[in-house]
Amino acid sequence: MAKRIELNGLECFLLPQKAMYVTKYELLVISDWHLGKLKHFRNAGFFVPSPDISLEIDELRLLISDLPIREIIFLGDLFHSEWNTDWEYFKTFINSVAQQIKFTLTKGNHDVLDKKHFNKLPIAIRSEYILSEGLVFSHEPIVGLPTYMLNIVGHIHPGYLVGFKGRQNFRLPCFYIQDHLLILPAFGKFTGLHMMKKQEDSTIYAIIHDEVIEIK
């Protein structure tokens, strides 16, 4: 179950699929997919699981079928590193839905693909993306924004450690809000987690299975 919140007066939903949806704009926001990461490591000689990019693309395809979406913003680190064949699968998918959806990438530190790979792809590349209500989307936090603006970022791959009885601890992806900053969890499956601490002025929404729950 998604978590409904309001950001600068806009109705938004934090999705258990590790994405955010802005209702007014029919806008889906995805951060840190790191496509091609496993194949990148396998090509470098590391023993990692065999990648199946179709499973990850299917997750986005399901979101597109479940929600009215006019635009998708990728908050950086869309592709993990240099080109590999996973990009071709992604390109085929993007082109298959391009007539109904607009795509924007706010460039991240891992977005090192040569510009030629974006040729004829319907993806606009920007450093940031701003809504009139004061929501600013970028890969990393922007220093010096006016206080009325809320910066929505990725990059950190936030997680939260939850303890249960029997000395059981679970590392959960989460959405983290503090000081006019909302950090989205990484959409990619193989990205790791950076554990966040609950502060008096922070709000954490952890993802547990198919539900987003506020940590009190």
| Rounded Cα gap, residues 16 and 186, in angstroms | 12
Q: What is the pLDDT of residues 75-126, one digit of tens each?
A: 988 875 566 778 888 888 999 998 899 999 998 876 657 677 677 788 899 9
Question: d(Cα 127, Cα 165) in Å, to the nearest integer?
Answer: 45
Q: What is the pLDDT of residue 83?
A: 61
pLDDT, residue 216, reads: 85
On the question of pLDDT at 209 being above 80, the answer is: yes
Q: Residue 165: its pLDDT value, please?
A: 62
User: Quick one: how far is CA 82 from the chain centroid?
Assistant: 20
Taking only the tens place, the pLDDT of each residue in 131-142 is 999 999 999 999
User: Two tokens at 74?
Assistant: 């990728």
pLDDT in tens, 152-202: 999 999 999 986 665 677 889 999 999 999 999 999 877 778 999 899 899
Using an 8 Å Cβ cutoff, are 141 and 154 in contact?
no
User: Which of 215, 154, 142, 149 minimizes the C-alpha distance to 184?
Assistant: 154
Q: What are the extents of the domains in the chain?
A: 3-215
The CATH code belonging to domain 3-215 is 3.60.21
Selection from 212, 142, 145, 187 nearest residue 30 by Cα: 187
Residues β-bridged to residue 123: 103
Q: Over the stretch 39-65, which tens digit does the pLDDT of each residue have?
A: 554 554 545 455 577 788 889 999 999
Query: What are the tokens at 200?
Result: 């008096």
Task: Report the C-alpha gap between 39 and 49 in whole angstroms.
Answer: 9
> Which H helix or E strand runs over 160?
strand 158-164
